[in-house]
Amino acid sequence: MTLWSGRFDTAPDPAAFDFQVSFGFDRALFADDVTGSLAWAEALGAAGVLSKQDAAAIRKGLEEILEEGRRDPAYVTGPDEDVHSFVERKLVEKIGEAGRRLHTGRSRNEQVSLDLRLYLRRRIPLLQQALTQVITACADQAERAGGALMPSYTHLRRAQPVLVAHFFLAHASALRRDVDRLEAARAEADAMPLGSGAIAGTSYPIDTAALASTLGFSRVVRNSIDASSDRDFVAAFLFAVSLAMVHLSRVAEDLIVFTGDEHGFFELSDATATGSSMMPQKKNPDALELARGKSGRAIGRLAGWLTTMKGLPSGYNKDLQEDKEAVFDADHTLAISLRATHAVIARLALNAGNASRAASGLLLATDVADYLAIRGMPFRQAHEIVGAMVRRLVAEGRDFSSLTLKEWKEASDFFGDDAPQAATPLESVHAKRTPQSTNPDAVHAALKELKDWLNPKA
């Protein structure tokens, strides 16, 4: 029995009917659906559409249904077309006639939009919390690394020495933007659609502002036609999730490379690594690889959803039902990826010796050129001179640390006696002068700022 069978004289063909049933997945909206119906019943009561007795019976029935569904998830099952039909069937079973009045003036089109908005408003804070845990793990690693050095890379070639802490704070910066981006998606979902009816609005005098505030929304949608198919909040959420997954993927890629034998800057904990069934020596970063791999899935959900929306005529269309699996899958994918990434980062051990060894050598060339430029040589000329020095050093298999004072001065008379001391990784980081740089004081301040953000003083 569907909510609409009255109009039809043949039983549905399962090939077509089962295809459009959504209860298998929209049962995730169960609690939100009941929450929405409780508020709707109250609004109908306040508008005088429902008698006091009916409104009270509906409230009691819905509260019991919510309670049972919360106690036993297996309760939320049945032959129903969708979660809305399920709740209504249960209500009618419980309270009879009054239950049939609940849907007065309301359409499933607005109901499903409301449910999904409520779902996102409660799920997004959990994702933000999980992001914050990963950011905390980055901050802890930055703190523990102290003054340890490592190379930074451009084009995956060693570029300049940086503090290990600076590297972790870099990833933390990206993940902080994800927290904000999810907040923006949550704000987008924060508009109450009830009162829109199926498309043209409702014929009952519903106080939509009161209904919005009962449901914790800060505003009401502006236009009923738009509201029936507006899923911008879904697109915003899927984009925020995709970009967070892209960031996790890039964290993963860095750590996969840096924990490998060739770099060995960090050691994966045995607890977050996996072995090989054939090669006994292997210690594989499967968790990181999967976080990287699953970014494709999140991006796919976003691309798929935008493709579904494109070209839809205005008003509700069943295509919109595709929003739910996209949202649930993206939500789940990000949640489990954050959990795994957190475990890997929290248990990662720094191999300071390997990291700092890799931070010395020819990657000090920029600092040597800066030395000349600070002493008045045009930077282009300095670049050329140091380039020639590098060419020679590479050919001889040496680096700056092996140059004698005589050799320094032969390269340019701008080099003073302090030139050898200036060309060290430690000097290199201390020479940086801007707040966003790897200068140890700047990194210290950045870490403090991050910790204040993580633990705001009341």
108 binds ligand ARG (CB under 6 A): yes
Q: Is 25 helix (H, G, I), strand (E, B) or coil?
A: helix
Q: Which CB atom, from 318 or from 433, has the smaller least distance to ligand ARG?
A: 318
Q: Which stretch binds ligand ARG (CB under 6 A): 60-68, 108-116, 349-357, 388-396?
A: 108-116
112 binds ligand ARG (CB under 6 A): yes
- HEC assignment per residue over 226-276: HHHHCCHHHHHHHHHHHHHHHHHHHHHHHHHHHCCCCCCCEECCHHHCECC
**Cβ pair 182, 373 in contact under 8 A:** no
In angstroms, rounded to a whole number, what is the distance separating the alpha carbons of residues 61 and 98? Answer: 10
316 binds ligand ARG (CB under 6 A): yes
Q: Which CB atom, from 102 or from 179, has the smaller least distance to ligand ARG?
A: 102
Catalytic residue among 276, 314, 401, 402: 276
| Structure-block tokens of residue 360 | 């010395």
Residue least distant from ligand ARG (Cβ): 321
In angstroms, rounded to a whole number, what is the distance separating the alpha carbons of residues 294 and 272? Answer: 17
Q: Which CB atom, from 109 or from 308, has the smaller least distance to ligand ARG?
A: 109
Q: Which stretch binds ligand ARG (CB under 6 A): 104-112, 228-236, 270-278, 284-292?
A: 104-112
414 binds ligand ARG (CB under 6 A): no
Q: Which stretch binds ligand ARG (CB under 6 A): 268-276, 319-327, 334-342, 440-448?
A: 319-327
Q: Which stretch binds ligand ARG (CB under 6 A): 174-182, 183-191, 320-328, 391-399?
A: 320-328
Question: Smallest Cα–Cα separation from 128: which of 212, 216, 237?
Answer: 237
Q: Which stretch binds ligand ARG (CB under 6 A): 35-43, 105-113, 180-188, 446-454?
A: 105-113
| Structure-block tokens of residue 361 | 């050598």
Q: Which CB atom, from 84 or from 166, has the smaller least distance to ligand ARG?
A: 84
Q: Which CB atom, from 112 or from 215, has the smaller least distance to ligand ARG?
A: 112
Residues with Cβ within 8 Å of residue 242, at least 6 apart in sequence: 295, 298, 299, 301, 302, 330
Q: Is 285 helix (H, G, I), strand (E, B) or coil?
A: coil
How many CA atoms are closer than 13 Å to the CA of 255, on its beta-carbon side? Answer: 34
Minimum Å distance from CB 198 to ligand ARG? 7
Q: What is the DSSP string of 359-404?
A: TSSGGGHHHHHHHHHHTT--HHHHHHHHHHHHHHHHHHT--GGG--
Minimum Å distance from CB 25 to ligand ARG? 9
In angstroms, rounded to a whole number, what is the distance separating the alpha carbons of residues 162 and 442? Answer: 12
Minimum Å distance from CB 328 to ligand ARG? 12
Please report, to the nearest 10 degrees, the dihedral formed by the alpha carbons of residues 30, 35, 41, 44 taken in order: -120
359 binds ligand ARG (CB under 6 A): no
Question: Smallest Cα–Cα separation from 320: which of 301, 302, 305?
Answer: 305
Footprint of ligand ARG on 73-102 (CB under 6 A): 82
Size of the site for ligand ARG (CB under 6 A): 11
Q: Is 439 helix (H, G, I), strand (E, B) or coil?
A: coil
276 part of the active site: yes
Minimum Å distance from CB 308 to ligand ARG? 12
Q: Which stretch binds ligand ARG (CB under 6 A): 53-61, 107-115, 354-362, 364-372?
A: 107-115
Minimum Å distance from CB 186 to ligand ARG? 21
Minimum Å distance from CB 81 to ligand ARG? 7
154, containing H or E segment: strand 149-154
Among 191, 206, 320, 411, binds ligand ARG (CB under 6 A): 320
Question: Smallest Cα–Cα separation from 345: which of 164, 126, 183, 146?
Answer: 164
Minimum Å distance from CB 438 to ligand ARG? 50
| Structure-block tokens of residue 145 | 């690394």
**Cβ pair 88, 99 in contact under 8 A:** yes
Minimum Å distance from CB 300 to ligand ARG? 20
321 binds ligand ARG (CB under 6 A): yes
In angstroms, rounded to a whole number, what is the distance separating the alpha carbons of residues 427 and 266? Answer: 23
In angstroms, rounded to a whole number, what is the distance separating the alpha carbons of residues 22 and 108? Answer: 13
328 binds ligand ARG (CB under 6 A): no
Residues comprising the chain, all counted: 458
Among 35, 37, 85, 109, binds ligand ARG (CB under 6 A): 109
Minimum Å distance from CB 224 to ligand ARG? 14
Among 22, 228, 333, 428, binds ligand ARG (CB under 6 A): 22
In the complex, the residues that contact ligand ARG under the rule CB under 6 A are 22, 26, 82, 108-109, 112, 316, 318, 320-321, 324
Q: Which residues are catalytic?
A: 155, 276
